[in-house]
Structure 1
Amino acid sequence: MVTILHAKKMDSGNYHCWSKYTNGSDALRLDVSDGWANLQAPHYVHEGDNITLRCRHYPGYNVGQTIFYKDNAVIQDWSYVDEYHIKNVQKTGNYRCTKEVLHFGMYHQHSDETFISVRELFLKPELTIIPNPVTAGDHMTLLCDTKLSWHRQRMELQFAFYKEGQNIQRFSSSDQYVVLATELEDSGNYYCKVRAPASIVSKKSEELFIHIQDPIFYIVLKTNLSELVEGDHMTLTCAMVPASYNHTADLKFAFYRDGRNVQRFGFSDQYGVRSVHLEDSGKYSCEVITPSGSVVVRSKEIIVHIQEAFKNPSITVIPDPVTVGDNMILTCDTNLSLLTQRTQVQFAFYRDGQNIQEFSLSNQYGVQFAQLEDSGNYSCEAGASVRLVKKSAAVFIQIKGEKSVDLTFSNIIRLILCGFVLIMIVITLQCGVKKERPSNMKKAHKIQKQVKKHQGLHAKC
């Protein structure tokens, strides 16, 4: 920072500042006047600026009214306001102010004038095209070129593009308009507009007629199947039209999905995926380049939609919950799409990440007489091929302990008494048989009845 004490006319001039990190600032103009009136105005004025003119006087004196002129025409009549505001300045002109200053006992009129040169904020834009000429299928770029004033280099401009008077790209910070693959109907009159967001300044380029030339050949992208399902083999072919183009062997082909390259330029006119997945869906296109690189043709985009072959499997268990000793059955369920009803899906089962049943046509896994150690995280996989396998979420199965036996006090007493009665009956029978040996069938029959009677009593216990 620099301070000028008691400024003099000799201090007038253009001032700059430097630092070791910059090449110097923009110039700042300082004018020192010793006149009775001084018209102050900005030195660098650009179209669209809002500026203020100030009619100052020699300090220490009383003043009266002020009047402003432009090119000798009054623009603000006599008043006690010594400032004049101009909005959206457009034209260069000579400005003057006259002011009443009280000195030597009376008001005297003193004047000062300045010339304000209004500079262009930016140059009239020019529309250019790359490449030129353009052939159908080319990648075409329109560039809206302009140049900002040296004093407004940091200002951000906005650009818009038009074809036949119709807006094709709204105002944005991009000075380019791109057509990925031109067609014959892209021919027409184009122009662009540039504007400064902070002002109302807007400029239009001259119209440029662009003729899209008919290419020496066309290319069409084709698929091997009209409907593709997960796991299918997909082949995209970049076909020539006409097919009789005699330099086919020298051409190179590239393929794109959603604008991103999936196969770089090479001599193969096909792009293949052995087993497609859902993420292979998208907008596909191909591009052909001649050996010289002078002709680049791009096909129209085609939409490839990969349909789901079957849903992610889910695992269920029967019974639920599982108790020790139960026969446990796990089932792996999935749903086939209509296009894959005939597809054979195989299933595999896992516990804690370890395979417990290899892939087979059975979607069930059984455990006989489940034990506590059979608890764990179970999951399954469903697969239609080596490359198309889907896994279920893991399910934690807890094997519960055996059912408890009712050993209440009353049941224990009952069991002891029944056992004691049974023992007494057996002893009594054995003693009776030893003392009496029946001599005839009648006595034997009587003994059998007594035995049966005692057996019935035992059954009740």
Structure 2
Amino acid sequence: MLLWASLLVLAPVSGQSATAHKPVISLHPPWTTVFQGERVNLTCNGFHYSPQTTKWKCSYLGKEIVRDTPGDTLEVRESGEYRCQIGESTLSNPVRLVFSTEPLILQAPYSVFEGDTLVLRCQRRGKKKLTAVKYIWNGKTLSISNESQDLLIPQASSNNNGSYRCIGTEDKNYVFRSNSKMIKIQELFPHPKLKATVSQPTEGNSVNLSCETQLPPERSDTPLYFIFFRDNGVVLSDQSKSPELQIPTIWRENSGSYWCGAETVSGSVHKRSLPLQIQVQRIPVSGVFMETQPPGDQVVEGEVLVLVCSVAEGTGDTTFSWHREDTKESLGRKTQRSQRAELEVPVIRESHAGRYYCAADNSYGPVQSGVVNVTVRGTSGNRDGVVAAGATGGLLSTLLAMALLFSCWHWRKSGEGFRGNETRSPPTAGPGESSHSICPVQVELQPVYGNVHLKEGDLVYSEVQTIQLGEGKASTSRTLLENKLASVVYSEVKTQLPDNSAGKVISKDEDT
């Protein structure tokens, strides 16, 4: 089995040849034991191109022979230990060749790596056919074959290390025993080592993991796949050709034992690293601050009040809570991975006025904010006049109408009244007249309740007009409670009459 490898070499720097990686020797045929008189070609691999010359060193029985060959190949006919060198590279690992004179030899490849198929060949000199072959491993019989002279061990591992030999049977029951051959399966790559950019990262930061291992020069082009795990088999990534994994944001709950695995494409060789403990550090909350929207001194009754709690520092899940200091009342609680949270009071009332604060806790204990004083202002609904609308049986409307009728009756009795059927306009005060003596003229009254089923004699509507003392103008924009200086000077009430007189306006002040 031929094992070839190509290695990259550093580019020359400043016109000088850079030191190359260690070259690797491959054999053709691949056996390290052959019969005397046969030939083996050695190739010094280390570049993507063939060098002009290659230096070879052969050691045998304490003697060392150095040869330079054009190209990268050397034909060998003698036993010995061979190394090669290209340019200023280091010497390759030695290859020991044996040219045997025995009648039966056991042939094995120069190097076998984990996952390879180990091929052993029991060979008779002159390539004479054997009728039966038996393979012995560490004194135990592995197989007996009458058809094949080769022994195949697929996916070899370190469990296949040991001493091998073969026994061949020829016609006329001649039995031959081969030499013993020590075979050691080479490690394709060592157990990977997991490394992290930081073993105690701070919450919210990123962490890079790398699964480090190394292929031998002979197998530097072997593709490997990597995978990362945490704790009891929590898979952090799919299989990837990249030996690195980035965790963009790591949290305290991600603390634990991490490890990685590397394997060949076929999965015949797979190894995992030792665990790496990663302990994520949490930053306690600090700088807790509460504000209101709108600000606490601008809250109007009926509006929405938002209590905003924030922290200057702190990582991870934070529990925010809101409290009212004067009543010791807890208003609400939220847990979220944020440095800011809001609590909304949909409709604010005057009873909500008071002192408020919030607290934040991310497992190190609650930290309180300062106190915010919230004042609630009432809505401004006051007007300069009043419109009193009467409904059937309305006590307030009735009393108000009676008061107004009496006032107007008193005015008309004094001879300052107006004719009932005249079209009137509001009089104005003459020279020397006080404005409070003027009674407003009649205006068209408008119904207040259009959906009330009225009965005869029921109050339909009324209008109250006031006049500000000293101003001389009638006003309907203020209530009597708001303007203590206003006087009622005119009122008229329309009632529901029988069908034959519907629609009439009757002044019932005299009767009243």
TM-score (norm 1): 0.43
Flag the structure with higher strand content. Answer: 1
TM-score (norm 2): 0.39
Query: Could you say which structure has the larger radius of gyration?
Result: 2
Flag the structure with higher helix content. Answer: 1
